[in-house]
Structure 1
């Protein structure tokens, strides 16, 4: 008899017997295994008990365990891309009050005005078709050149501006951008008179969400030959961003820098970008320096790749920084002169409109714009590589990025968001996005009411309770 058929028959018989045993004994086997495991879990001390992993995970959370392991492995500062995962106060606690009987909605055929002006008293104000723009994300710091060009093209298609970020000024980015904000960063590049003259606005990057004005080093291996050339670096030289803006060694130096930039650019708006902290003191300095724009980049903001301590433990949430900035500018009677841009942790049209209602003149999109830029292109790296490998300078899949596809995605995001905001304006009985204000909002919880100064949704201010006592609204 042939050996193979015999072996096959024997294997089938063994499998059949094993299957029959499982059918008749599976309850007994499961009961025995369950009992064995439970006895271990219920009788062993924590020193020997696997349940200790559950206890530890609940105490430390998987993220903290993983990041602690990374520090133990490297012995160096732990950097994280794209900002903090920490939950902070946001705009979810606010809702709009739509027009109904007492106030009528706007007619559906009304053309809602979406325009905004940044730096209205500058010699050359920045005029935008929509109140959304692309925030500062630099070429090589950390994005690739194609991603920067795609963001610029998308912004132009939507009628708004893009920001160079802390990287160098790319000629292709300038060509693709209808309106370009040049970031005057803490790095030595992108500061020549020729480059400044190409700006439609200059933003002095003092600090921002996720970096807090910290110094950064970008390894040479992550920079292309062309980026190193534009940065003025030697072939193997690292790119360094300092902790201070060049030329500013004392708070009194801000006024001289602002005036210098105003002259060299021919009068475009000059702004400062800050992570909200000592908001009132910083705004006083900004006003003394004569800035036209202040960007409030809250602690939830995305960033390239910075130390986790800076992302998780520095600065105020965007909503609180924005409200304090508006309040102080009004106190200083500078609200009509100085524009406010809000950024950091805003992802939906509702978020954008609420920020505008609280007093921002425009909203800068960072992570939201990046997510739109990669959209379905993320399938080029997932599931084996993270999305950063597609858009980060030096990423393994960076050459597979499609600029034209991405630019249309970015434009679609901006246009769709504005269309939703226009619909909201109609429902609020207003004529323009700029007409929306804090009177159109209520807070759903006392904490949001306290942070924003917006009244609680539970009734009118000082409304009467059933027992006759007054219920005061929370104050700032």
Structure 2
């Protein structure tokens, strides 16, 4: 190509650029005219269609459906239409049950004086006070069961255990695989007993700071759990000791078989107490309307700690019908469990842990006031650990894409950053609770009681028995 040809092409290029600039300028200067003209034509056409088409073929029919069902239920039903199997729903229900929001603390003023910031407030908590080696944690907040492979990927579980250890609280192995590295990372480790093929070994039980027999939970009642092949990785299947699960999937049975016979349940508690050298033995149950009968059976079996999970409890994935339509609200479960233990003279013998929808330091302190010795947090801890790392997932993936066992962004998660975030969250929560105790004139979080509360919602006053303002 000669220099003359190059010059011609340059000239044409400059002309094209000039024409584009001129068109752009004209378009910009005439926007007020053509934009209004186009908008009015489209808008008028839309209004005619909306107001003239029969309702059966009218776009407004969709608005009726949205109002009737709600956006969430429409999406969930569409997912059912796509998958053709029980819809696995994460995190928990969005139903608005009576909750701790209906309660307020009554601050100390003249009759009882509030305390200055310099006054120390005790947060240390003893779990399993009658056990030979009770679990002593720095605050009445524990990290709930979120198992490796069942719910979370290994780095995320490690992060939770590191963060809990920094804060001096306990973390829970859940129904996932127990690994020696988890014991090494955790300062206080709760080992959960279940009937899956990878159930904890004698060694795992021996080194536990508390053992928790899982019979049920708020998000899936007392049902078993199906783990589909597509939710597993090769490493998880190998850690489960089930390499074939990559093609067959696997199943966690409902509860433990010993729960079918009360004598067997007592023998299980005795065995666990013996093999652990006297660690507290807890039982985790979903709150049902037969709660008192369930508690009586647990007491006779000899459990040191009872964990009651309310209907707001979440999980990685459970059938939506169990998440949304089963169980008792956490507030109801707590009050009924506390009343049962007090009425039967068991309050000094058995510790009570509540879980399910515990979100804030206010929720936590109110739970203590209503009788809980400690609370489990799951979703709150999960999001505390993800913290600003969610920028690696949103807006195209959910924040939990870095947390779930097969999450699409799991490899981008920094477990040490997550641990630091969780530690700061837990520290912030307990410091706020201490501020609340000082405002009530109390020097221990465990001195806060129901007399410090008032209710501003009638149903909450009825459920809790505290005065209605």
TM-score normalized by the length of structure 2 = 0.91
Question: Structure 2 unaligned runs (5+)?
Answer: 1-7
Q: Secondary structure at the match of 2:306?
A: strand
CA distance in 1, matches of 2:25, 2:235: 68
Q: Secondary structure at the match of 1:454?
A: coil
Which of 187-196 and 296-305 deviates more? 187-196
Which of 422-431 and 400-409 deviates more? 400-409
The change in CA–CA distance for 1:276 and 1:7 in structure 2 (over 3 A counts) is same
Q: Secondary structure at the match of 1:162?
A: strand
Q: Does 1:268 align with 2:279?
A: yes
**Counterpart of 1:412?**
424
The change in CA–CA distance for 1:34 and 1:430 in structure 2 (over 3 A counts) is same
CA distance in 2, matches of 1:107, 1:326: 31
The change in CA–CA distance for 1:28 and 1:232 in structure 2 (over 3 A counts) is closer
Aligned positions of 1:78-89 closer than 5 A: 78-89=87-98
Aligned positions of 1:300-311 closer than 5 A: 300-311=312-323
Q: Contact (CA 8 Å) 1:297, 1:343: kept in 2 or not?
A: yes
**Counterpart of 1:171?**
180
CA distance in 1, matches of 2:409, 2:44: 50
The change in CA–CA distance for 1:33 and 1:166 in structure 2 (over 3 A counts) is same
Q: 1:110: how far off?
A: 1.4
Q: 1:227: how far off?
A: 3.4
Q: 1:289: how far off?
A: 0.8
Tell me the alpha carbon deviations over residues 151-180 of structure 1, each in whole angstroms, 9 at most, x when there is no partner: 111111111111111112121110011111
Q: Secondary structure at the match of 1:422?
A: helix
**Counterpart of 1:254?**
265
Aligned positions of 1:280-299 closer than 5 A: 280-299=292-311
CA distance in 1, matches of 2:370, 2:47: 56
Q: Does 1:117 align with 2:126?
A: yes
Q: Contact (CA 8 Å) 1:188, 1:246: kept in 2 or not?
A: no
Match of 2:252 among 231, 235, 241: 241
Q: Contact (CA 8 Å) 1:296, 1:342: kept in 2 or not?
A: yes
Q: 1:304: how far off?
A: 1.1
Tell me the alpha carbon deviations over residues 418-447 of structure 1, each in whole angstroms, 9 at most, x when there is no partner: 011111111110110010000000001101
Q: 1:225: how far off?
A: 4.1
Q: Secondary structure at the match of 2:78?
A: helix
CA distance in 2, matches of 1:13, 1:349: 62
Tell me the alpha carbon deviations over residues 381-412 of structure 1, each in whole angstroms, 9 at most, x when there is no partner: 22222223211112232222212111111111
Tell me the alpha carbon deviations over residues 40-59 of structure 1, each in whole angstroms, 9 at most, x when there is no partner: 22222211211111111111
CA distance in 2, matches of 1:412, 1:127: 20
TM-score normalized by the length of structure 1 = 0.90
Tell me the alpha carbon deviations over residues 62-112 of structure 1, each in whole angstroms, 9 at most, x when there is no partner: 111111111112211111222222222211111111111221112332111
Q: Contact (CA 8 Å) 1:225, 1:235: kept in 2 or not?
A: no
Question: Structure 1 unaligned runs (5+)?
Answer: 458-476
Q: 1:365: how far off?
A: 1.2
Q: Secondary structure at the match of 1:248?
A: helix
Tell me the alpha carbon deviations over residues 198-243 of structure 1, each in whole angstroms, 9 at most, x when there is no partner: 1111111111121112121223454444433442323445332011
CA distance in 2, matches of 1:71, 1:180: 38
Q: Secondary structure at the match of 2:258?
A: coil
Q: Does 1:334 align with 2:318?
A: no
Which of 391-400 and 327-336 deviates more? 391-400
Which protein has the bigger helix share?
Answer: 2
Q: 1:32: how far off?
A: 4.4
Aligned positions of 1:5-404 closer than 5 A: 23-24=32-33, 30-236=39-245, 238-277=249-288, 278-404=290-416
Q: 1:293: how far off?
A: 0.6
The change in CA–CA distance for 1:214 and 1:286 in structure 2 (over 3 A counts) is same
CA distance in 2, matches of 1:162, 1:3: 71
CA distance in 2, matches of 1:409, 1:6: 58
CA distance in 2, matches of 1:23, 1:181: 67
